Amino acid sequence: MPVMEAMHQRLSINDIDPDAYKAVLGLEKYVHAGGLDEGLLALVKSRASQINHCAWCLDMHLAEAREAGIEQRKLDVLAAWREAGDMFSPQERAALAFAEQVTLISVDGVSDAVWSDVREVFDEKQTVTLLMAIAAINVWNRMNVTVRTSLPSQPGGW
Residue 137 contacts residue 49 (beta carbons within 8 Å): yes
- pLDDT tens digits along 141-152: 999 999 999 888
Closest CA to 95 of 26, 33, 36, 29: 36
Mean pLDDT (the chain, rounded): 94
**Is residue 143, in this structure, part of any structural domain at all?**
yes
Q: In the chain, how many domains are there?
A: 1
**Is residue 108, in this structure, part of any structural domain at all?**
yes
**Is residue 2, in this structure, part of any structural domain at all?**
no
Q: How far apart are CA 141 and CA 72, in angstroms?
A: 23
Q: How far apart are CA 109 and CA 53, in angstroms?
A: 20
Q: Which domain holds residue 78?
A: 32-147
Q: What is the pTM of this model?
A: 0.92
Domain of 74, CATH number, reads 1.20.1290.10
| pLDDT band, very low/low/confident/very high, at 7 (cuts 50, 70, 90) | confident
For residue 69, give the DSSP letter.
T
**Is residue 156, in this structure, part of any structural domain at all?**
no
- pLDDT tens digits along 9-36: 999 999 999 999 999 999 999 999 999 9
Asked if residue 117 has pLDDT above 60, the reply is yes
Measured on CA atoms in the order 6, 7, 13, 14, is the torsion positive or negative? negative
**Is residue 103, in this structure, part of any structural domain at all?**
yes
**Is residue 157, in this structure, part of any structural domain at all?**
no
**Is residue 79, in this structure, part of any structural domain at all?**
yes
